[in-house]
Amino acid sequence: MSRMAICAIFAAAVASGCGVSSANSPGAGEPQVSRAASNLPKPASFAEWKAQFRPRAIAAGVSPGTVDQALAGLTENPEVVRLDGAQSEFTKPIWEYLDGAVSADRVATGRAKFAQYGGTLDAIEARYGVDKEAFVAIWGMESSYGTYKGSMPVIRSLATLAYEGRRRDFAEDQLVAALRIVDAGEAAPSQLVGSWAGAMGHTQFMPTSYLTYAVDFTGDGRRDVWSADPTDALASAAHYLKQSGWVHNQPWGVEVKLPKGFDYALADQAQRRPVADWRARGVTRIDGSALPDYAPAAILAPAGARGPAFAIYDNFYVIKKYNNATSYAMGVGHLANRIGGGSTIQGAWPRHERELSRTEKIEMQERLTAKGYDTGTKDGVIGPNTISAIRAYQQARGMTPDGFATVALLQTMR
């Protein structure tokens, strides 16, 4: 379920807007099994990497037999190298991402799955206390309800990425976890298939997430996230959400109307306040009714002051633990709403705006930093640090501090 994995799936499937927001990977807070690989010089060859990896895997607890079986005859996968190195220059703005992620077809299929698996979904919801709309939406987002689970050999992909990927330690940790799955007899190496980045099955679990969160809901003794039956995978996703803090029967967020003169510097995911505070500032639901009182809440305006705004609650941050991107969390949340019969987003997106290219985003980061508004890394990804820098720049010039990167804003910096 890494961002990479999502992008791999979507590149093949629905060309959704990967790269809208910064990426992370699930399980980032889990114990890591090895850390040393990237501190060492990159091995001269894949064969040398294999020789160096073997004792590390054994030290991490994988049986020598499993390691040797996995490494025998293993070669690099050039396609994985190519996909890992492909950083797209152009990404979609969030409204286009949501158009794809929450398409009419995906909503209709989600409702059909509700009917098809009704009893199973109710049983999973009852056991984990996670709303069925949420884990079905994750299923829809991750694999289009099992249509695009990925069929690349996971051990080969992860070995390739551990040798020369952009995140070698992460890949090696995942590879060791994959070998542990084999060691435990939960799957044969040939059964470990998934996206080029190693995400597996209906809900695109990375191997460490599988080890930590996968469950046997069918009761056959296997935690099977790969087969045609999605039951174990859906229960595993529900378990993941529950362990991440899901609150049953509470919305991820609701669309809101902000009062005239609202201070957009407050529209920030990190600024969580009691609902009474937002009510006192005049924030209401989009239809003018009172904001639901699930504390705390933050205000999110993902396309700035001229786009829709939302009050977001605990479950929004829970979804981000599955995939740490604002666009992804909005996609899952909104898809869940729509599957459950909720309405479309009412506010108008600024569809006339063009998403900055990666080069332009880097230029904006360089110009902001040069003007004294430090953006941290200059990686062409508009993350929290860059948004804060944009706000400070806007505030100093009497502009609405909504933190939204536009072409016009870049022009004022030139």
Binding site for Ca ion (CB under 5 A): 216, 218, 220, 222, 224, 232
- The torsion of the CA quartet 34, 39, 43, 46, rounded to 10 degrees, works out to 30
| In the complex, minimum distance from the CB of residue 9 to Ca ion, in angstroms, rounded to a whole number | 23
- The torsion of the CA quartet 375, 381, 384, 390, rounded to 10 degrees, works out to 50
Nearer to Ca ion, 215 or 301 (CB): 215
C-alpha span between 242 and 253 (Å, rounded):
17
Nearer to Ca ion, 131 or 232 (CB): 232
| In the complex, minimum distance from the CB of residue 163 to Ca ion, in angstroms, rounded to a whole number | 33
Across-strand partners of 309?
A: 256
| In the complex, minimum distance from the CB of residue 233 to Ca ion, in angstroms, rounded to a whole number | 10
| In the complex, minimum distance from the CB of residue 392 to Ca ion, in angstroms, rounded to a whole number | 52
| In the complex, minimum distance from the CB of residue 220 to Ca ion, in angstroms, rounded to a whole number | 4
Nearer to Ca ion, 52 or 218 (CB): 218
Nearer to Ca ion, 219 or 261 (CB): 219
Nearer to Ca ion, 125 or 402 (CB): 125
C-beta atoms surrounding 126 within 10 Å? 11
Nearer to Ca ion, 19 or 207 (CB): 207
| In the complex, minimum distance from the CB of residue 319 to Ca ion, in angstroms, rounded to a whole number | 25
- Residue number, nearest CB to Ca ion: 218
Nearer to Ca ion, 96 or 216 (CB): 216
C-alpha span between 188 and 183 (Å, rounded):
9
**Torsion sign across C-alpha atoms 272, 276, 277, 279:** positive
The DSSP symbol for 42 reads: P
C-alpha span between 102 and 347 (Å, rounded):
16
Strands 253-257 and 309-312: antiparallel
C-beta atoms surrounding 194 within 10 Å? 28
| Residue 280 backbone phi and psi in degrees, to 5 | -65, -25
Residue 282 CB-half CA count within 13 A:
6
Residue at token pair 């980032």: 28
| In the complex, minimum distance from the CB of residue 120 to Ca ion, in angstroms, rounded to a whole number | 12
